[in-house]
Structure formats: C-alpha cells, structure tokens
Chains A and B, each alone.
Chain A
C-alpha cells in the first residue's frame, strides 16, 4: 500500500517565525512531489512542486526533497497569520502509463500574531 505520512498537527508558530512541515512516503518509485495549501472550506491550492533532490525556493516557500530518505519538506519563512491553513503533501505515483496523486492527511498550521 502506497502511503504518504504527515504529522496532523496542529503546528503553532509565532508570526515571523519559520514553519517546517514534513512528509514521508513509502513508494521509492515516486517521482513528483507537491505541496497544497487548503483553507477551511476551500479547495486545495498548489503552492510548490519538486521533482529532483535538493531545495527549491519560491518566495517565502522552500521545498526540500531527499529521495534516498523518502522525505519531502516545506519551509515557510516569515510566517504570516494568512498562512494558517492545512498543508497537504501529495506524491504522484506512476503505474504503467498511468499516474495519480496520493495525499497525506495534512498538517494544520496556525500562525499566531
């Protein structure tokens, strides 16, 4: 069974701090990794994608991938109250010519003013 694991939280950080969100996955064949942000009652919004080992930065967000350890993380610098949401880690699994996203259960982030 292919699994994606995240701490459910809640993760609480003060405004301006760095929030660190972690995700592990079970399928070594996974090739594509995504972070989605979901506000309560809203749909998931893609914020980062990463495909190769190392870091990828986009504004205040940095995604980190370590395929050997089957680990992907998201760092949010200078956290703002508007970053308070559930963050979903998603991993694309490919079987034959098909692919689909497998989601973790999400980590709820709370940024306190």
Chain B
C-alpha cells in the first residue's frame, strides 16, 4: 500500500479566510513533504518534515504554516492567502530523508486550492 491521503480535494477560500489542508499516510514513512504545483509547471518543494521535525523550509511566506502532529499526519495551515497562491498542493511521503536508497517519494492526490 503506497497511499497518501489528502483532504479536501478541492478548496475555495477568500483572502481573509483561515483553512487547513490535511495529509495522512500509514506506511510508516518518517519523511513528509508539501509541494506546490502551478499549471504546466513542475512541483516546487515548500516544506520537509523528517521524524516530525521541520528540516527544510524553502523560504515559504509565513501565510503558509506547516504542522506535523505525529508521524502519520501533516497539516498545512493557510491564512491571508493571495490569488496567486491558487495551485495544486501536493503532499508526499518517503521512508526516510537523507543518504540512502529509501527515498522513493509517493504523492497524495493533491488539493486544488482557489483563492478568490
């Protein structure tokens, strides 16, 4: 089973709203990732959690706030977003992060976010 589950699948929010994206995996993976993907572009890394600790923040604006409550869950809290933040937000997980071969990353189905 290589399933990563993201909710919701679609989200429309106003610029003053607060919302959260959720991601869950039960593969025992210890690295979890948030990516942002705009149309016709490759995924761009936002955050990496390794063993529930934030290990990479790719200079993401503070209106995006990640949280990793436990080894199976990853959240992305959204506040005061801009229309240009509209994109497909992808969660991924891998067995480990770092040197070694156990780095295959599996993606969830994504959340299509529209900011109005």
A: residues with CB less than 8 A from B are: 31-32, 34, 36, 42-46, 49, 51, 88, 90, 92, 94, 97-101, 103-106
Contact = CB atoms under 8 A, between A and B. Distances in A.
Dominant SS among interface residues on chain A: strand
A92 B45 CA distance: 12
9 contacts: A31-B99, A43-B88, A43-B109, A44-B107, A92-B103, A98-B48, A98-B50, A100-B97, A105-B42
A105 B44 CA distance: 10
Contacts of B42: 88, 103-106
Contact of A99 (B43, B103, B107, B109): B103
B101 A51 contact: yes
Interface of B is mostly: loop
Contact of B99 (A36, A45, A97, A101): A97
A98 B98 contact: yes
A42 B104 contact: no
Given A98-B55, A101-B45, A46 B98 contact: no
B88 A32 contact: no
Interface string B79-90: 000000000101
Contact of A44 (B43, B48, B56, B99): B43
B110 interface: yes
Contacts of B103: 32, 92, 99
Given A44-B43, A88-B42, A98 B97 contact: yes
A88 B104 CA distance: 14
A42 B109 contact: yes
A92 B98 CA distance: 9
**Which of B41, B45, B50, B103 neighbours the largest number of chain A CB atoms within 10 Å of its CB?**
B103
B34 to A, nearest CB: 11
B48 A45 contact: no
A49 B106 CA distance: 12
A103 to B, nearest CB: 4
Contacts of B56: 98, 100
